[in-house]
Amino acid sequence: MLKDLVLLAAHSLASRKLRTSLTILGVVIGVAAIIGLIGAVQGISDMILGQVEKFQSDTITVVPGAFDMSFSMGGGSSDTSISKLTDKDVNEIEKIAGVSIVTGVIQDKMTVEYRDEKKSLTILGVDPQNMNEIYPYDISDGRFLSSPDQYSALIGYSVANDIFSDNVGLKKKLVINGKEFQVVGIFAKVGGLFSSADSMVFIPQKTMKDAFSKTDDFSEIIAKAEKGADTSQIGSDIEYRLAKLHRVSLDKKDFTVITPEFGKQITEQITSLISILIGGIAAISLIVGAIGISNMMFTAVMERTREIGMMKAIGATSNNILLVILIESGIVGLVGGLIGIGFGYVIGEGFLIARQFAVSGISFAPKQTQMPHVALTPELVGFALAFSFIIGLLAGYFPARRASKLQPVEALRYE
């Protein structure tokens, strides 16, 4: 019986090809918008999380000042109090179980001169002994800084190739705030989330303090966890010990501990909010499509009044009529959903490609070594199909109910 009703519904839709196609198009647009936009945002999120996993899965960073990036009800909070991070903090972190390496980093903006050009770049004063452990980026030319180095510099890919008119190669001289440094190494292109490293210059920390009269305060402290250690637990231990050292409570701490889990949580919260927002906007298109389905079904009921009367006269029940109309509207929603998923994937990929070209054309924007792709997850596909099918059923319910209540005699009389 159900098979016959499905075939009858399919035949009815096929007999009105143009109207059915236009109605399906309304559903296609709504589903394509949902799939394309949400899938693209999720793809970007997956790429970011993948880069965090690749470069900082075992890194805990401590920065001065307290801030809370929570997006829960009530919003986030921040504290304007800023601490000074010193060697005492480094020594305290070294005592924590599971920590393999700890180092402080001094960071500042300085004028870098190469030949006749001057640029304002970020200079990092690092400990040469553990630099290759703290910054796990590949070297494309030369070497890492070493302990005997004084006025030596390791530069990012963009410093070597993009920022100055002429390429900066090995053994070339850079003048940083009036002091001459020789390039001993060049990082390979990092790109993506950590692309800021491409535009940085790394010099020995002792030289930075002596040559530029920098204090012993650190801009950040970076700790590496031992293999297999729980970075969340280490982060909690760091918070407890530094709060005690700074004589503040955990609620009033004047520093922030950033763990890989913290970074992932913030990324997921941001992308979830964006997905909800654009999903709501895209759903409006699907609601418009639902109105189109309802309109088509009402028109179909009016056109088929005599047919419905005949069906009832030969034994079809009100439930049979109701089911036929619902199946028709459900098929429209489902077919629109299936086509919309395909179009949505294409739209999402097109959006990401356009975004890639747009970003690559902006000189100060992060350059990416890889392009994100639409995350077409089974959950997203299932949601889109179920949503479009349910929208179709709901849109067809009232026309179907009207058709099922028609009296056979009155329906047969209808012209």
pLDDT (tens, 9 = 90+) of the chain, 415 residues, equals 677 777 877 777 787 788 788 888 888 888 888 888 888 887 877 776 676 666 567 888 898 887 655 544 344 444 445 578 999 999 999 999 999 999 999 999 999 999 989 999 999 999 998 888 888 788 999 999 999 999 999 999 999 999 999 999 999 999 999 999 999 999 998 876 667 889 999 999 999 999 888 777 899 999 998 888 888 899 999 999 999 999 888 888 888 888 877 777 777 777 777 777 777 776 777 777 778 777 777 777 776 667 777 777 777 788 888 888 888 888 888 898 899 899 888 888 887 787 666 655 444 444 444 567 787 788 888 888 888 888 888 888 887 787 777 776 665 555 4
Give me the amino acid identity at 245: L
Around Cβ 250, how many Cβ atoms within 10 Å?
Answer: 12
Q: Which residues contact 149 (CB under 8 A, 6 or more apart)?
A: 128, 184, 204, 207
d(CA 142, CA 170): 7
pTM for this prediction: 0.62
Other CB atoms within a 10 A radius of the CB of residue 217 amount to 13
List the beta strands (DSSP E) in 75-178: 77-79, 99-114, 117-126, 139-142, 152-155, 173-176
pLDDT-above-70 percentage for the chain: 84
Distance of CA 101 to the CA centre of its chain: 30
